[in-house]
Structure 1
Amino acid sequence: MLLTKKYLLAIVSAFGLTIGLTAASPALSQSSQVLNLYSARHYQTDEALYAEFTKQTGIKINRIEADDNALLERLRSEGKNSLADVILLVDAARLWRAEIEGFFQPIQSKVLDTRIPKNFRSNDIGQGSQWFGFSSRARVIVYNKASMNPKDVDTYEKLADPVNKGKVCTRSGSHPYMLSLIGAMYERQGEAKTEAWAKGMVANMARAPKGGDTDQIKGVASGECGVALTNSYYLARLMRSTKPADMQVVEKIGLIWPNQATSGVHMNIAGGAVASYAPNKAAAIKFLEYLASDSAQQYFANGNNEWPVVKSVKTTNEALNKLGNFKQENISIASIGKNQIYAQKILDRVSYK
């Protein structure tokens, strides 16, 4: 626990706190027919998801949207006076950070325990889980088909091999997507090997880390980068685009599911929890159970190109289905989130910006 507290401020700083909200704050309230939702999801297709919940239950959703850091800062400021009922965040690193700061409360739900796999929810502390994953995405490798041999980049580990010197592009190492990937590597291979990998990645950079995942994909297509890491839904989004420029990008790149002969591809989630001081707890639990329903799981898949976490739900998203089947890494998302402490320390030691 001392280690957690010691490095928490460094982790928070690494995420780059943003105080302002990105949307006007609606009037929040307390009622059995109201749900106050704090959401870091900013996808227009989620509108239909929320509208369907209100249609099914009669519960009105008051929604505040902002990036993860702004929402957490708001929760810190509000303290016990917060009217938040449900908090939706993206990535294991962010969910873990919110959990250790005490923003969630454990809940017991047979629906969620049955439908959400154990590795996609927080560790049960005896009173139930504190958060649940409702959609998943994979951290995949994309490469330039004209300049790269896919056999040289078919695992995460090979990206740090000297053969790929001057070819690798990534976003900032301190971004939650990268922290979670490194946290997963730490979980399965330990500190020394993970640090050696991070050091090799720095040595192989085509340019300093910058931009988002779409920028990495476009950098590979342009030839600025030979290979890059991206979350799968960014690639699927480009695959579904009818814009000529996006279609040209997709034509120039190849996709690799990393580590298929060993550990499997790194998976992450978007998840949700009941807020610590939720005034409408019953409605909050009902909403989370709704997110695990077949219809809501399809919204996640078709709206933002994320895979359902409920195993029985088969997506109708053609872009996702076109990506094919792959072996997934079987590591607890909760462990990945916790390991971001060690991931950030490793990044600092090797000067991974």
Structure 2
Amino acid sequence: MPVVSVGAGGMGRAWLEVLEASPDAELVGLVDLDLDAARRAAADLGRPDLPLGRDAVELARATGARAVVDVTVPAAHHPVTTAALAAGLPVLGEKPAAATLAQALSLVAAAEVTGELFMVSQSRRWNPQVSLLRDAVALLGGAGTLTTEFFRAPRFGGFREEMEHPLLVDMAIHAFDTARHVLGDEPAAVWCTTSNPPWSWYRGDASAAAVVITGGGARYSYTGSWCAPGEETSWNGRWTASCAHGSVRWDGDDEPVVAVAEDAPAEVRAGVDALLAGPRSPFDGIAGALAVFCAALRTGGSPSGEVHENAMSLAVVEAAVASAGSGQVVDLDELLEGARAEAVAAERDERVRERLRAWPGVRAALAAPAPA
């Protein structure tokens, strides 16, 4: 499948390598507002003659591309994806879906009215160890409590160290999305508190503790810091799931450790044994996301990470930020409806605006995408 990639920065270059090696996609063009950066990226890839441009839709038309991979900064996700979908081009985008939940809902509605696929590459979903974690939790009867500990001390420099909530906005979305994936349930309410240790090199709060209450009653607890020198966790965090028939621990780097309760039913023990002895998921990282995206375009299926399904992860991030500011528990339905009102007010495309207004409720719309 011929594709153009948008963005020649650090993550954009990682995607270029994946696209170049993919058996499913053919890189036919590179887009960046900085054409010199695009030329350097193409040359470093060994493709100095790769067609370049500043506009994704124009370059797609010129090269015959049939899809767009959006690896721009979050602020550009909404305009780049909106233009591509309107031009009949499906999009695979880097997280988050958009810079704000309101913009993400606009993209949900745009995907509906155009009938084009917009999938967000939430790369942890394509970690085989996460797949094993999720399957083990399900076999053990589902988790009543799921926890993540995340402690790292990266010195990025640049925009992250100037953000108001760097950990929540730039990193915690990975854990929140993984938690939704593992629990198989959606958030109903979020409470969060943030802080910034005296030794922090971040302007904004780089430490956070959040509790997510799901519709089914499970509790997900996230505790983390981006200014935690000393012993660090994996970039994936350290996970513990407490389930009806046992527990699962995952250090974020190695395979999860499953402990089945002594009084667990025989069929549960047999199921866990079969899972641990069986094959692992063939998908991994952003290459896995690309393979799933291409497969969905071939089959017409709706992949994990499709924007309807993905938008709730960004909603959890915004709920956590709102809760940290107010000190109150944030109701997700109220947050979603507020974001819809904001999206309607800002929307320029009449078809998208009317689709947003027509939803009976945001949660229902995200759970059951309407036909084009």
TM-score by length of 1: 0.35
Q: Which entry has the higher C-alpha Rg, 1 or 2?
A: 2
Greater RCO structure (CA 8 Å; 6+ sep): 1
Q: TM-score normalised to the size of structure 2?
A: 0.33
**Higher strand proportion, which one?**
2
